[in-house]
Amino acid sequence: MEFDHSLMPVITTGKELNEADSAMILLHGRYSNSSDILSLAQFIHSPGMHFMAPQAAGGSWYPFSFMDPEQANQPGLDNALSVISSLVNKIAEAGIPQEKTYLLGFSQGACLALEFAARNGNKYGGVFGLSGGLIGDKPDTSKYSGHFGGSPVFLGCSVRDSHIPAARVKEAAWYFEKAGATVNMKLYKDLGHEISKNELDIVNTIILNNGQI
8 Å CB contact between 25 and 88: yes
**Does 1 score more than 60 pLDDT?**
no
d(CA 78, CA 201): 32
What local confidence, expressed as pLDDT, does residue 209 receive? 87
Q: The whole model's pTM is what?
A: 0.96
Q: What is the pLDDT of residues 97-151, one digit of tens each?
A: 999 999 999 999 999 999 999 999 999 999 999 999 999 998 788 999 999 999 9
From the DSSP assignment, how many helices (H) and strands (E) are in the chain?
A: 5, 7
Q: What is the CA radius of gyration of the chain?
A: 15
Q: What is the pLDDT of residues 137-174, one digit of tens each?
A: 987 889 999 999 999 999 999 999 999 999 999 999 99
The domains found in the chain, sorted by start residue, are 5-208 (3.40.50.1820)
- The share of the chain scoring above pLDDT 90, in percent, equals 93
Q: How many CB atoms lie within 10 A of CB 75?
A: 14
Report the mean per-residue pLDDT for the chain: 95
List % helix, strand, coil for the chain (3-state, nearest 5): 40, 20, 40
Higher pLDDT, 41 or 3: 41
